[in-house]
């Protein structure tokens, strides 16, 4: 009789504990093999982007500008949900740029003017709209590629700021569109000595994100 009472009390205690647990953590319907990070910004992160826009560089009264191709790739991970920290490689390049000087202007044929950079990127997603803001700060360099050779500026400071929107196309994949602004400030050795070369690049790009 005492054993039966103890058994009944144990069953009631277990039932009460289970009910309490269900109150604290309600049951969530599962997808096949439920994935708690489904279409959420957690874990490993990679986002390449490719686009086009306009780039302009100027120093000592000389401006080099034109239609530009833009590229970038960020690889990292979430430090908390919707907050991403990543290494970022980015760049933009103008083929056959327009060149303006105090004495006139023209087109530099068979020439390209390229910005390249590497830095640390922070991205914040605003859910559920899946809109994000990215900021990158890093080291940059400018290169002029001509028929007579390649000429590099000194390494300087630059970065990229982007605002984008993504649409989920899978459990962890999103396709998106981003507008971004890149900048670079570099010391450049010329015939008149060292000058500051300032570069701005504006672009619209398509992106594919895994997260």
How many angstroms separate the CA atoms of 83 and 41, rounded?
A: 8
Residue 64 token pair = 């080099």
Q: Where are the domains of the chain?
A: 47-210
What is the residue-level pLDDT of the chain in tens, covering all 211 positions? 443 433 433 433 334 444 443 343 333 444 445 678 899 999 999 999 999 999 999 998 899 999 999 999 999 999 999 999 999 999 999 999 999 998 889 999 999 999 999 999 999 999 999 999 999 999 999 999 999 999 999 999 999 999 999 999 999 999 999 999 999 999 987 656 688 999 999 999 999 999 9
From the options 2.40.50.140, 3.40.50.1860, 2.40.50.100, 2.40.160.20, give the CATH code of 47-210: 2.40.160.20
Residue 114 token pair = 């390229």
Secondary structure element (H or E) that encloses residue 189, with its range: strand 173-190
Residue 207: CB atoms within 10 Å: 23
pTM to 2 decimal places: 0.80
> How many whole angstroms from its chain centre is CA 167?
16
> Do residues 197 and 188 lie in contact, with contact meaning Cβ atoms separated by under 8 Å?
yes
> Do residues 145 and 119 lie in contact, with contact meaning Cβ atoms separated by under 8 Å?
no
């Amino acid at each position: 009789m005492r054993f039966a009472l103890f058994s009944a009390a144990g069953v009631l205690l277990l039932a009460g504990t289970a009910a309490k647990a269900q109150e604290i953590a309600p049951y969530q319907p599962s997808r096949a093999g439920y994935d708690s990070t489904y279409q959420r910004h957690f874990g490993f992160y990679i986002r390449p982007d490719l686009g086009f826009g306009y780039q302009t560089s100027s120093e000592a009264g000389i401006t080099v500008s034109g239609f530009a191709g833009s590229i970038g790739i960020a690889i990292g991970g979430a430090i908390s949900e919707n907050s991403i920290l990543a290494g970022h490689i980015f760049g933009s390049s103008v083929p056959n740029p327009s060149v303006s000087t105090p004495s006139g202007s023209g087109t530099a044929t068979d020439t390209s003017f390229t910005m390249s950079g590497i830095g640390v990127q922070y991205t914040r997603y605003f859910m559920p709209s899946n809109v994000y803001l990215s900021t990158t700060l890093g080291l940059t360099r400018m290169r002029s590629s001509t028929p007579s050779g390649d000429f590099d500026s000194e390494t300087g400071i630059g970065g990229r700021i982007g605002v984008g929107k993504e649409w989920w196309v899978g459990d962890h994949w999103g396709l998106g569109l981003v507008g971004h602004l890149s900048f670079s400030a570099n010391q450049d050795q010329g015939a008149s000595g060292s000058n500051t070369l300032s570069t701005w690049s504006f672009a619209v790009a398509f992106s594919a994100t895994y997260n």
